[in-house]
């Protein structure tokens, strides 16, 4: 046995996959932080975010941090994600290269560039793809080096609730966005149609659970979160647009987490 092989075996390569999950999570968090920071400074520079906005206070708009500082933090987050991604690429190969580069590019393009994604009607589609299909599908591929229909269905379910978070955000900001030329899907559709879109995004994952019938009875576990989804839909329709939607936004993100945990448990019980 040559020394290269000996070193390789000494590192116990079969156990190295244990570290994939934390690195993957760290990479995803770094990309999302970078995207959020680009959004913070990008909306400020375009005049969309002002101190009187309905949404949560933003660091750049409030003057807490300079645009240069926030932009630097965004690029630093992307750099950290890139460095973490090197290990993921070593394990997963070219598909992870493609997903990683596309995620970084989309994270920047969401608010940056000449035609930001967030300033058009494709924000929900962006989130569905990168926080649903790419995130769940890519994670599954890294763990198994394969991709199945069940994994993609699960990714779509998670992505639908992620898109609902963006819908809440854009519904809340409808008037301000329209005034500043930010033509989100909510602006294009109007408030009544956006309320119907939110219902679709919230309930579609439950309606599609029968597609996971191969899991047996555990596929029904995510239904435990349905009452929370129904309460959020009722609040979305009942509350007038305003700061109250900040709590609805946070609760929608919380629902996605609960649903995702129950869905993960369903796969573990098979």
Q: Give the pLDDT mean for 261-265.
A: 94
Range of the domain at 156: 142-270
**Which one has a higher pLDDT value, 85 or 128?**
128
Say how far apart CA 13 and CA 32 lie, in whole Å.
30
Look at residues 31, 32, 55 and name the one whose alpha carbon lies nearest to residue 43: 55
What tokens were used for 76? Answer: 């630093």
Do 56 and 169 sit in the same domain of this protein? no
Question: Between 125 and 91, where is the model more confident?
Answer: 125
Q: Examine the domain organization and report whether 106 and 188 are in the same domain.
A: no
Nearest-CA neighbor of 52 among 150, 142, 167, 173?
A: 173
Same domain, 150 and 33: no
Contact 121, 185 (CB under 8 A): yes
114 and 147 assigned to the same domain: no
The residue length of the chain stands at 270
- Stretch among 66-70, 88-92, 135-139, 203-207 having the lowest mean pLDDT: 88-92
In a domain, 127, yes or no: no
CA distance 97 to 74: 20
**pTM for the structure as a whole:** 0.83
Is there a domain that residue 129 lies in? Answer: no
Domain count, the chain: 2
Calculate mean pLDDT across residues 148-177: 94
- Please report whether residue 5 resides in a domain: no
Tell whether 114 and 215 lie within a shared domain.
no
Give the pair of three-digit tokens for residue 173.
């900001």
Asked whether residue 74 falls in the same domain as residue 168, the answer is: no
Whether 132 maps to a domain, the answer reads no
Query: Which residue's entry shows tokens 């869905």?
Result: 263
């Amino acid at each position: 046995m040559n020394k290269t092989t000996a070193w390789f075996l000494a590192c116990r390569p079969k156990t190295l996959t244990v570290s994939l999950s934390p690195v993957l999570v760290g990479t995803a968090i770094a990309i999302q932080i970078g995207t959020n920071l680009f959004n913070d400074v990008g909306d400020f520079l375009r005049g969309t975010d002002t101190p009187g906005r309905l949404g949560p206070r933003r660091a750049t708009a409030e003057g807490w941090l300079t645009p240069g500082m926030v932009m630097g933090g965004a690029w630093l987050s992307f750099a950290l994600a890139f460095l973490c991604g090197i290990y993921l690429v070593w394990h997963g190969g070219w598909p992870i290269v493609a997903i990683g580069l596309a995620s970084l590019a989309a994270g920047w393009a969401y608010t940056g560039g000449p035609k930001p994604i967030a300033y058009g009607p494709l924000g929900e589609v962006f989130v569905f793809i990168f926080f649903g299909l790419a995130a769940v599908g890519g994670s599954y591929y890294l763990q198994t080096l394969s991709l199945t229909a069940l994994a993609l269905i699960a990714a779509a379910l998670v992505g639908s609730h992620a898109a609902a978070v963006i819908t809440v955000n854009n519904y809340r900001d409808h008037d301000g966005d329209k005034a500043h030329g930010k033509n989100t899907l909510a602006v294009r559709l109007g408030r009544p149609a956006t309320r119907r879109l939110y219902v679709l995004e919230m309930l579609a994952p439950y309606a599609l659970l029968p597609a996971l019938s191969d899991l047996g009875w555990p596929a029904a576990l995510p239904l435990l979160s349905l009452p929370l989804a129904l309460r959020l839909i009722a609040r979305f329709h009942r509350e007038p647009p305003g700061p109250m939607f900040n709590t609805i936004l946070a609760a929608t993100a919380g629902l996605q987490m609960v649903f995702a945990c129950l869905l993960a448990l369903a796969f573990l019980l098979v």
